Amino acid sequence: MALDATTVTAAGPAAAPPRTGVTLHRIARRRSTIAFLMALPLIAVIAGLVAWPAGYAIYLSTLNRRMTSFIGLDNFQILLESETFRMVIWQSCIFAISAVVLKALLGFWLAHMLHHIPTKGQRIWRGLLLLPWVVPPALSTLGWWWMFDPSYSSLNWLLNAVGAPSVPWLGEPGWARASVIIVNVWAGTPFFMIMYLAALKSVPDQLYEAAAIDGATGWQGLRYVTLPMMRNIISITVLFSLIVTFANYDIVRVLTNGGPRDLTHVFASYAFQVGVLSGNIPRGAAVSLFMFPLLAVVAFFILRGVNQRNREMA
Amino acid sequence: MAQVKLNRVVKEYEGGVQAVKGIDLDIADHEFVVLVGPSGCGKSTTLRMIAGLEEISRGDILIGGTVVNDIPPRDRDIAMVFQNYALYPHMSVYDNMAFGLMLRKFPKEEIRRRVENAARILDIGMLLDRKPKALSGGQRQRVAMGRAIVRDPKVFLFDEPLSNLDAKLRVQMRTEIKKVHQTVKTTTVYVTHDQVEAMTLADRVVVMNHGVIEQVGPPTELYHKPATKFVAGFIGSPAMNFIPARLANGSGALNILLPGGISLPVPEARAKRYTGHAGKEVLFGIRPEHLTEVRPNDHRPNLAPLQLTPEVVEPMGMETLAHIWLEGAEIVARIDPSVPAEPGRALPLAADMGQMHLIDPQTDRVI
**Closest CB to A214 among B53, B99, B133:** B99
CA–CA min distance A105, chain B (Å): 22
Instruction: Report d(CA B332, CA B310) in Å as an integer.
Output: 9
Where exactly does CATH 3.40.50.300 map onto chain B?
4-234
| Record: contact B52-A206, CB cut-off 8 A | no
Q: Which CATH architecture has domain B241-366?
A: Beta Barrel (2.40)
Q: What is the mean pLDDT of chain B?
A: 88
Determine which of B99, B145, B152, B155 to mutate to test the interface with A (most A C-beta atoms within 10 Å).
B99
Range with the lowest mean pLDDT among A138-142, A224-228, A254-258? A254-258
pLDDT band at A8 (very low <50, low <70, confident <90, very high): very low
ipTM: 0.83
Predicted confidence at residue A6, as pLDDT, reads 42
pLDDT band at A17 (very low <50, low <70, confident <90, very high): low
Q: Where are the alpha helices (DSSP H) in chain B?
A: 43-51, 93-103, 108-122, 137-151, 167-184, 195-201, 219-224, 229-234, 268-274
H or E element in which residue A89 lies = helix A83-115
Predicted confidence at residue A213, as pLDDT, reads 92
| Record: contact A209-B84, CB cut-off 8 A | no
* pLDDT tens string B152-199: 888 999 998 888 888 888 888 888 888 888 888 889 999 999 888 898
Predicted confidence at residue B245, as pLDDT, reads 87
Domain ranges in chain A are 13-61, 81-313
Question: In the predicted model, what is the mean pLDDT of residues A60-77?
Answer: 88
Q: Is A118 an interface residue toward B (CB < 8 Å)? A: no
Question: In the predicted model, what is the mean pLDDT of residues A172-185?
Answer: 90
Question: In the predicted model, what is the mean pLDDT of residues A140-161?
Answer: 87
DSSP letter for each residue of A156-204: HHHHHHTTPPP--TTTSHHHHHHHHHHHHHHHHHHHHHHHHHHHHHHS-
| Record: contact B74-A231, CB cut-off 8 A | no
Q: What is the mean pLDDT of chain A?
A: 86
Where exactly does CATH 2.40.50.140 map onto chain B?
241-366
The CATH number of domain B4-234, selected from 3.40.30.10, 3.90.1150.110, 3.40.50.300, 3.30.420.40: 3.40.50.300
Instruction: Report d(CA A138, CA B116) in Å as an integer.
Output: 61
Long-range pairs for A126-131 at CB < 8 Å and ≥24 separation? A126/A194, A126/A197, A129/A190, A129/A193, A130/A190, A130/A193, A130/A194, A131/A190
Determine whether domain A81-313 maps to CATH 1.10.3720.10: yes
**Closest CB to A215 among B86, B104, B133:** B104
The pLDDT of residue A13 is above 60: no
Predicted confidence at residue B216, as pLDDT, reads 92
